[in-house]
């Protein structure tokens, strides 16, 4: 088996007496879409926070392309190829959609400097390309705060893509989206298949089944099952955790 692009190895984290990450081992293969599902409070967002370097684990390792990320800041992890989106989208509301992407482009270590990035037509065109990839064609001049909720989720994705990640950590990209917006998000993520690996935290099971190559199930901080959609659906532990009965 080829080396995974992202490997989470024996990760542990407690908040006081609450064990939110309990010996979690999980890998994402290059170009794989790996879904992480589990009930509210299972520890999914906390896991993303640890991979990204926002929350320090108590033990265990996170490796990107075989390299241990311990002690690397969030900024360095982004430079190595990790990017994320949030359950509640984090965008600069007062700035235009294009400027949000420009800010991410300017943060790249290119050796170039822009006193006024808006006047650099190459940079602006590049920003628009990321908006198009995220399904936001024609929205570049709109203030992020004036975008619909679903469009803000897409903008956050465009910002993440502008860092040119190797692995995208997506924390509930469908959260709060209507059926039309969800379908659009699924299409956009499907369009990224093969270009970037994804760890997809999601409650929307039709979206998970439409996108995921593999699914891992997290319950009370522990991975209780991992495999294809069919394997996970047939797993008695998953049936008990989700439905309270093995034969439901």
Residues in CB range of 117: below 8 A, 6 or more apart: 102, 105, 106, 123, 124
Both tokens of residue 49? 């926070």
Rounded to the nearest whole angstrom, what is the least distance from the CB of residue 26 to ligand ATP in the complex? 14
Rounded to the nearest whole angstrom, what is the least distance from the CB of residue 216 to ligand ATP in the complex? 12
Nearest to 103 by CA among 128, 127, 79, 77: 127
Nearest to 211 by CA among 224, 225, 223, 228: 228
Rounded to the nearest whole angstrom, what is the least distance from the CB of residue 47 to ligand ATP in the complex? 7
Bridge-partner residues for 72, per DSSP?
Answer: none
State which of residues 21, 45, 216, 226 lies at the interface with Mg ion (CB under 5 A).
45
Stretch that binds ligand ATP, among 39-47, 130-138, 206-214, 235-243 (CB under 6 A): 39-47
Rounded to the nearest whole angstrom, what is the least distance from the CB of residue 171 to Mg ion in the complex? 6
Rounded distance between C-alpha atoms, residue 71 and residue 159, angstroms:
24
Bridge-partner residues for 68, per DSSP?
Answer: 63
State which of residues 6, 20, 52, 105 lies at the interface with ligand ATP (CB under 6 A).
20
Does the footprint of ligand ATP cover residue 184 (CB under 6 A)? no
Which of the listed partners (ligand ATP, Mg ion, none) does 20 bind, with a CB threshold of 5 to 8 Å by partner kind?
Answer: ligand ATP
Looking only at Cα atoms, what is the longest distance across the chain? 63
Rounded distance between C-alpha atoms, residue 217 and residue 226, angstroms:
6
State which of residues 40, 116, 122, 245 lies at the interface with ligand ATP (CB under 6 A).
40
Tokens 């199930």, residue located: 217
Rounded distance between C-alpha atoms, residue 236 and residue 150, angstroms:
35
Rounded to the nearest whole angstrom, what is the least distance from the CB of residue 97 to ligand ATP in the complex? 26
Quick one: CA torsion of 26, 187, 133, 195, rounded to 10 degrees? 40
Which residue, 87 or 129, has its beta carbon nearer to ligand ATP?
A: 87
Rounded to the nearest whole angstrom, what is the least distance from the CB of residue 42 to Mg ion in the complex? 8
106 to 135, contacts with ligand ATP by CB under 6 A? none
Which of the listed partners (ligand ATP, Mg ion, none) does 70 bind, with a CB threshold of 5 to 8 Å by partner kind?
Answer: none
Interacting residues toward Mg ion by CB under 5 A: 44-45
Interacting residues toward ligand ATP by CB under 6 A: 15, 18, 20, 38, 40-46, 87
């Amino acid at each position: 088996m080829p080396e995974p692009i992202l490997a989470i190895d024996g990760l542990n984290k407690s908040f006081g007496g609450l064990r939110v990450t309990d010996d979690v081992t999980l890998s994402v293969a290059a170009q794989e879409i790996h879904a992480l599902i589990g009930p509210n409070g299972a520890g999914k967002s906390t896991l993303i926070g640890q991979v990204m370097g926002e929350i320090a684990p108590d033990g265990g390792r996170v490796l990107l392309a075989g390299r241990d990320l311990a002690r690397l800041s969030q900024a360095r992890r982004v430079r190595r190829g990790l990017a994320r989106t949030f359950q509640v989208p984090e965008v600069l509301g007062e700035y235009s959609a294009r400027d949000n992407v420009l800010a991410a482009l300017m943060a790249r270590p290119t050796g170039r400097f822009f006193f006024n990035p808006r006047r650099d037509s190459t940079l602006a065109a590049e920003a628009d390309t990321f908006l198009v990839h995220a399904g936001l064609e024609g929205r570049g001049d709109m203030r992020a705060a004036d975008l619909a909720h679903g469009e803000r989720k897409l903008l956050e994705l465009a910002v993440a893509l502008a860092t040119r990640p190797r692995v995208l950590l997506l924390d509930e990209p469908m959260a709060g989206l209507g059926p039309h917006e969800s379908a659009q998000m699924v299409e956009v993520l499907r369009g990224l298949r093969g270009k970037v690996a994804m760890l997809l935290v999601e409650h929307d099971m039709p979206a998970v089944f439409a996108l995921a190559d593999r699914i891992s199930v997290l319950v009370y901080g522990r991975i209780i099952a991992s495999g294809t959609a069919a394997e996970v659906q047939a797993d008695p532990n998953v049936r008990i955790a989700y439905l309270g009965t093995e034969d439901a």
